[in-house]
Chains A and B, each alone.
Chain A
Amino acid sequence: MNANDFLSGGFAPAPESTDHFEIKKTYDLYIGGKWVKAAKRFQTTNPANGEVLSEVALAGKKEVNQAVKAARKAYDEIWSKLSGAERGKYLFRIARLLQERAREFAVVETMDGGKPIRESRDVDVPLAAAHFFYHAGWADKLTYAFPGAEVSPIGVVGQVIPWNFPLLMAAWKIAPALACGNTVVLKPAETTPLTALKLAELFEDAGLPAGVVNIITGAGETGQSLVEHPDVDKVAFTGSTAVGKAIRRSVAGTGKKFTLELGGKAANIVFEDAAINEAVEGIVTGIFFNQGHVCCAGSRLFVQESVADKVIKKLQKRMESLVVGNPLDKNTDVGAINSASQLERIKELVKAGKEEGACIWQPSGGVPRKGNWFKPTLFTECAQSHRIVQEEIFGPVLAIQTFRTPREALTKANNTPYGLSGGVWTDKGSKIFKMTTGLNAGVVWANTFNKFDPTSPFGGYKESGIGREGGLHGLSAYCNLSH
């Protein structure tokens, strides 16, 4: 693929090199500190060009069982007996090793998942390392975290993560689990297993005791076997609300603890007194970051009527300058859609948007012929009842509505079963707090959007999930408290 064909603004191609590391032809399962073969394998491809990157093992019930056993053994014999300080030192090591191999992880993440290298390099990988570093420090300080309560580990944790932030989600899940004294079986997403497998290699380099983290690759059935396994004490899941509800059902009555981080349909609200140019950047970051494959994406834009024309014009102008193309190119703003099935889902909803009467607009540039691509898209004339307003699209598609009063904006914004995140743009401080307290959402960005940090709890209200990840509040998801 010649990236240059698709660039606007006359940038010369600036692709990241891929010759400084190895992606193995095949990967096995990482169980009990060993690489274990499975009966079946599946391919993982580069969504930007369809090329096969590797063949990875498909864990069945037998392998899931093996992994849970290994995690239990490591919990009973090693990890639960280790002091918090020693656990922390392993996590610090992991953070450092990840920082050292940051470039490799960023490139592999981009190849396997399709996200722009600029994002994997500047967001995913550094944040993943920061998560390990942050939680490392908690391991010997847990008694200070929960006033008046006694804290103990839960045991074996089964974790199932999505394809939109493969390495970062692995870090979000593994780091707090280990810090709090649990052992882990992690299943990465079917389409993006490679950075989790490389993380397993890194755990070996760190000397992490065998079985403390087990990585098993596979599809939905593998994940299901894992969360339903009777010897798993806690389930942590990030993914769709539909699967989240199925998991919630499967843990009912088992006494298993669980955290769910699910879908969203965030409202991004722009007032007439906002700094408009910054708001436009925030809208772009909100919906086109990671091709909109973001559970907290600002997928519903609410613009105050008096500035709607101005904001939409500026937004369209800005969208014309977005570089869509080779994810490995350092100029690229919008990469490839993660999978063919996700592309179909986006197309279906965009079709519904047109049919239901919303007006579509897309920038003039093209997209590569090979691979999975979708142009940054916006819809105006949207109604609350439209599917593109109600349903999570998980793609680079923005639904725009207008409002007149703050109250109207809040009513519309909260009119959704989701409640993960929201955004507010205004230069008036009291208005910011009126809006941020009024939004029924777990994370609210005022005059910024899509910011993440290991110290900052993340998670949803309502059907966007149960529990928080990150920060002090995220720790309680991995501890038993008695009070």
Chain B
Amino acid sequence: MSNLGIPKTYKLFIGGKFPRTESGRILKVRGPKGEFLANASRASRKDFRNSVVAARRASGGWAKSTAYLKGQILYRIAEILDGRTDQFVNELVAHGLPENKARAEVAEAVDLLVHYAGWSDKYQALFSTVNPVASSHFNFSSPEPSGVVVIVSPTRGSLPELVSVIAPAMVGGNAVVVLAGENALTAISFAEVLATSDVPAGVVNILTGHRDELVPEFAKHMDVNAMLLCSDDAEERQGVELEAVENLKRVALQPDRPLSPSPYHILDFQEIKTTWHPVGV
């Protein structure tokens, strides 16, 4: 009796659902020896705009959810990812990674998620102040999420790279749209992890596609508050900065590799709000 495998269809992750690209285009994903692995979706500009709509819709509720809940959800992602280690290892090996390296990458991604889960209710204390103003007012400043953050992952798009850029923006209460790197399959499988980890629909949206085509759209969209670009390409960096001017998007430029864990990566996608109130009767 034959036992033919059932290959997975790799689609996009938008608004908690897995739609095909509206454009009907594909990205042919091949293994290291050129063998066919899958037809991933080649997201269009319209797919990106749909993702921003989904992210905007999700951003208010996610921003308002308690820090405790955000922490638990990030921890939940780590749990689910850890449980699916073998699936990711198999995919990474198919992509050409040796098994021990693949296993180490999954473990690193899990650790990053656990790390940021723990920041959910702590970075606020680190980055808030009570300001001793010279008048009879109670005055304090504290961080609030930027809103919708779009992220261009490092080019390779390994699991630790992907998690290192998503987790800090997400734990800070932002809804994100991520353009995955070359490891499209890993990114979409990670979306399946997110979809089963109580992450509210639309809080994380993942697109696979051509970087050249989508990066300028990421940078110029008027309903995006901030953007993270992981790139060593000076021209690409400048292009993004220029496109981002029209709505004064906050732009964080990072090198083309995983971000090392730091609360300052959370702070990159926060706005500081200062509140005044008189003291008296």
Contact = CB atoms under 8 A, between A and B. Distances in A.
B245 A457 contact: no
Interface stretch (B30-38, B87-95, B99-107, B130-138): B130-138
Residue of B132, B134, B248, B277 ringed by the most chain A CB atoms within 10 A: B248
A456 B133 contact: yes
Given A245-B245, A444-B276, A461 B271 contact: yes
Interface in A87-134: 130
A456 B277 contact: no
Contacts of A447: 277-278
Contact of A457 (B132, B141, B225, B246): B141
Contact of A448 (B127, B246, B277): B277
A417 interface: yes
A125 to B, nearest CB: 14
Interface in A259-290: 260, 262
A459 interface: yes
A453 interface: yes
A148 interface: yes
A364 B278 CA distance: 33
Contacts of A1: none
A447 B277 CA distance: 6
Nearest to B261: A483
Contacts of A244: 248
Interface in B15-32: none
A453 B139 contact: yes
A356 B225 CA distance: 31
Interface stretch (B48-56, B110-118, B236-244): B236-244
A446 interface: yes
A453 B264 contact: no
A458 B275 CA distance: 10
Interface string B242-281: 1001111010000000000011100000011111111000
A225 B37 CA distance: 55
Interface in A112-165: 130, 147-149
Interface residues of A, number: 44
B272 A446 contact: no
Given A417-B247, A465-B248, A457 B264 contact: no
B129 A471 contact: yes
A457 B129 CA distance: 9
Contact of B274 (A149, A252, A444, A462): A444
Q: Size class of B's contact patch?
A: 20 to 34
A74 to B, nearest CB: 29
Interface in A449-465: 451, 453, 455-459, 461-463, 465
A60 B198 CA distance: 60
A466 B129 contact: no
Contacts of B275: 436, 443-446
B131 A456 contact: yes
Given A442-B271, A444-B275, A451-B276, A253 B238 contact: yes
Contact of B272 (A147, A245, A468): A468
A148 B119 CA distance: 14
Contacts of A262: 248
Nearest to B242: A252
Contact of B141 (A249, A456, A462): A456
Given A248-B248, A448-B137, A448-B278, A453 B131 contact: yes
Interface in A413-465: 417, 432, 436-437, 441-448, 451, 453, 455-459, 461-463, 465
A387 interface: no
B164 to A, nearest CB: 14
B274 A457 contact: yes
Contact of B277 (A245, A260, A432, A443): A432
B234 interface: yes
A416 B274 CA distance: 19
A36 B18 CA distance: 67
Interface of B: 126-127, 129, 131-135, 137, 139, 141, 144, 225, 234, 237-238, 241-242, 245-248, 250, 262-264, 271-278
24 contacts: A147-B126, A245-B245, A253-B237, A253-B241, A253-B242, A417-B247, A436-B273, A437-B273, A443-B273, A444-B275, A445-B276, A451-B135, A451-B276, A453-B134, A453-B135, A456-B131, A456-B139, A456-B276, A457-B129, A457-B141, A462-B225, A473-B272, A483-B262, A483-B264
Q: Report, nearest first, the 4 A-B pairs whose CB atoms are least far apart.
A: A253-B238, A252-B241, A453-B133, A455-B131
Interface of A: 130, 147-149, 241, 244-245, 248-249, 251-253, 260, 262, 417, 432, 436-437, 441-448, 451, 453, 455-459, 461-463, 465-466, 468, 471-473, 481, 483
